[in-house]
Amino acid sequence: MPRLMNATTSEAGTFFRQRLIAHLRIARFDHSVKQIFILPGVFLAFTITGHRASLAFLWRVIVGLISATLIACSNYVINEILDAPFDREHPVKKRRPAACGLIHFGWGYVQWIAMMAAGMLLAATISTRFVLSAAALWVMGCIYNIPPVRSKDLPYVDVLSESINNPLRFCLGWYMVTSSILPPVSLLVSYWMLGAYFMALKRFSEYRQIASPSIASSYRRSFSFYREESLLNSIIFYSAAAMLFFGAFIMRYRMELILSFPVLAWMMSVYFGLSFKDESAVQNPEKLYKEPRLMIALLVCTVVMAFLLLVRLPWLQSMFPMSTP
């Protein structure tokens, strides 16, 4: 009898551990690398405002990053829960915990709200505008995943609604530094379009990997409207719009950044090439660090842009003089 009880207790313990691991996995902490899109907002606001580094500032950035991560993880939880029936139709995503029935859906909804609440509590320690940006990030996750809107099922709207998280992350970084100055609209739109470029390439890579249109549409409803040609056309639009608004920002705020165009275009072209690979890291951004060419391009781009933000080059002003009436 004691042996039977011990065996039952051991099985219960194993089940509990498996369930706990599954619930941790649906939060996708490994996707926290996406919070890197917050850092340009921090750096640019820091540069423009002349804010001084301090321990209080560093602590605010750390708390802000944790807050943003919790909000993003809350969105991933609801995504996994509501996407479980569709993920079962995908050749790879069918192995996700929710699709395999490894999570308790009731506790999953509790986890979704709890992570959002924890993130918002931390956000409240930074500033009101940071709280509003964090709330907008969470609401966009609801719009993207929850019926009846569920924007991820709508062609083109799926890309635009998901990629708007990019400028929201930029705002989170900006408001870690200052709440007295609003970020430039031209840069926010550029950041949005750049995010749409990356997201559309993810859609393109996914669509190419799922050879059958019927299987693709059963996994993601928007795929019933997409074709490779239409996705490529949208990618060209997003990249052109991103560079147009980035150019507008440069001409108005920081002429030196015009020298960053070649390395930025190089990074975008490397990313574009990755989308043609099977099981591409473009479909799984958390694995992009395994792509050495992209990491080199990203590092060079980061160093060049940071240098151009910190150094003034007066001779550029004479090359691109402001027009006068």
How confident is the prediction along the chain (325 residues), in pLDDT tens digits per residue?
A: 555 455 566 666 677 788 888 898 999 988 888 888 899 999 888 888 777 778 888 999 999 999 999 999 999 999 999 988 887 877 778 888 888 888 889 999 999 999 999 999 999 999 999 999 999 999 999 999 999 999 999 999 999 999 999 999 999 999 999 988 899 999 999 999 999 999 999 999 988 887 666 666 777 788 888 899 999 999 999 999 999 999 999 988 889 999 999 999 999 999 999 999 877 788 887 778 788 999 999 999 999 998 998 888 888 877 777 655 5
In angstroms, the CA 24 to CA 73 distance is 10
pLDDT at residue 142, as a whole number = 96
How many helices and strands (H and E) does the chain possess? 13, 0
- Write out the two tokens for 221: 């409803």
To the question of pTM greater than 0.85 for the whole model, the response is yes
Dist. CA 94–CA 101, nearest whole Å: 10
Instruction: Write out the two tokens for 86.
Output: 């569709």
Closest CA to 113 of 151, 141, 148: 141
- Residue 22 is which amino acid? A
Q: Amino acid letter at 43?
A: F
d(CA 84, CA 99): 4
3-state secondary structure (DSSP) of residue 22: helix
Closest to 42 measured CA to CA, from 164, 168, 175, 181: 175
